[in-house]
C-alpha cells in the first residue's frame, strides 16, 4: 500500500489546474485593486480630517484675535501691536517657531498659542517654544519681558490649573467671545 498523499490526483487535467490558477490570479488582482482604492480613500479621509482640524484651529484663532488686546488691557497690559501667525527665524534663516498670536509693546512681548481643544502636550510644547523665543529675543538684545498665554475653545477642567501653574495666562471661550480671568494672586511667568 502506498501513501495516498503522494499519489497524483486523477481526473485533473493541466488545463483545469491552469484555469484554477488563472482564476486565483484574477481574484488576487481584484483584491489588490480594492486595497489600492481603500488606501486612496483613507488618504483622502486623512487629508479631509487634517483640513477640518485646521479649520477648527482657524476658527479658534478668529475667536481669540479680534479683541485680545482689549482683554489684556483690562489686566493692565497695553499692547500696541498684535499679529496672527508670526514666524521666527534664526539669523541663518532656520525656522525656530511660529506663534498663533503675537502681542507686543515697549515693555512686554506675549506669545499666545491657540488650540481648538487643549491637551497637556500643547502646554508642554508652548513651554519649550517660550524658551526658544527668549533665546531669540536675547540674541537680538531685546530685553522685553516675555509672557505666554494659551487659548482654547475647549479647555478640559483638569488642564486649567496645569496651564496656570506653568505661568501662562489662560484664555477660554465664553459665548461668542473669550475671557481671561486669572485667579486671585496669579503671577504670570516671565521668560
- With beta carbons less than 8 A apart as the criterion, state whether 111 and 83 touch: no
- With beta carbons less than 8 A apart as the criterion, state whether 71 and 179 touch: yes
Cell of 64: 481669540
Higher per-residue confidence, 147 vs 58: 147
The whole-number pLDDT of residue 152 equals 87
Q: Which of 38-52, 100-114, 126-140 has the lowest mean pLDDT?
A: 38-52
- With beta carbons less than 8 A apart as the criterion, state whether 129 and 109 touch: no
Q: Collect all residues with Cβ–Cβ distance below 8 Å to 5 and sequence separation of at least 6.
A: none
Residues in a beta bridge with 117: 154
Taking CA atoms, 187 is separated from 4, 87, 165, in Å, by: 87, 27, 9
For residue 139, pLDDT beyond 80: yes
Portion of the chain with pLDDT greater than 70, in percent: 83
Q: Please, which pLDDT band fits residue 153 given cuts at 50, 70 and 90?
A: confident
Q: Please, which pLDDT band fits residue 141 given cuts at 50, 70 and 90?
A: very high
The whole-number pLDDT of residue 18 equals 84
Domains, the chain, in order of start with CATH, read: 63-180 (3.40.1350.10)
The whole-number pLDDT of residue 49 equals 63
CA distance 69 to 87: 20
Whose cell is 515697549? That residue is 106
CA distance 70 to 82: 11
What is the average pLDDT value for the chain, to the nearest integer?
A: 85
Q: What is the pTM of this model?
A: 0.67
pLDDT tens per residue, range 114-129: 988 899 999 999 999 9
The whole-number pLDDT of residue 174 equals 73
Residue in 96, 109, 106, 108 with CA at minimum distance from that of residue 136 = 96
Amino acid at each position: 500500500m502506498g501513501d495516498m498523499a503522494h499519489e497524483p490526483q486523477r481526473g485533473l487535467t493541466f488545463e483545469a489546474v491552469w484555469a484554477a490558477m488563472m482564476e486565483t490570479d484574477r481574484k488576487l488582482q481584484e483584491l489588490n485593486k480594492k486595497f489600492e482604492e481603500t488606501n486612496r480613500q483613507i488618504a483622502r479621509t486623512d487629508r479631509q480630517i487634517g483640513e477640518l482640524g485646521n479649520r477648527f484651529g482657524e476658527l479658534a484663532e478668529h475667536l481669540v484675535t479680534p479683541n485680545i488686546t482689549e482683554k489684556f488691557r483690562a489686566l493692565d497690559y497695553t499692547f500696541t501691536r498684535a499679529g496672527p501667525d508670526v514666524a521666527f527665524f534664526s539669523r541663518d534663516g532656520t525656522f525656530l517657531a511660529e506663534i498663533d498670536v503675537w502681542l507686543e509693546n515697549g515693555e512686554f512681548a506675549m506669545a499666545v498659542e491657540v488650540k481648538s481643544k487643549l491637551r497637556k502636550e500643547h502646554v508642554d510644547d508652548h513651554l519649550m517654544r517660550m524658551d526658544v523665543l527668549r533665546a531669540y529675543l536675547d540674541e537680538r538684545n531685546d530685553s522685553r519681558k516675555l509672557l505666554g498665554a494659551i487659548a482654547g475653545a475647549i479647555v478640559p477642567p483638569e488642564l486649567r490649573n496645569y496651564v496656570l501653574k506653568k505661568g501662562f495666562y489662560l484664555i477660554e471661550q465664553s459665548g461668542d467671545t473669550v475671557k481671561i480671568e486669572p485667579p486671585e494672586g496669579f503671577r504670570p511667568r516671565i521668560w
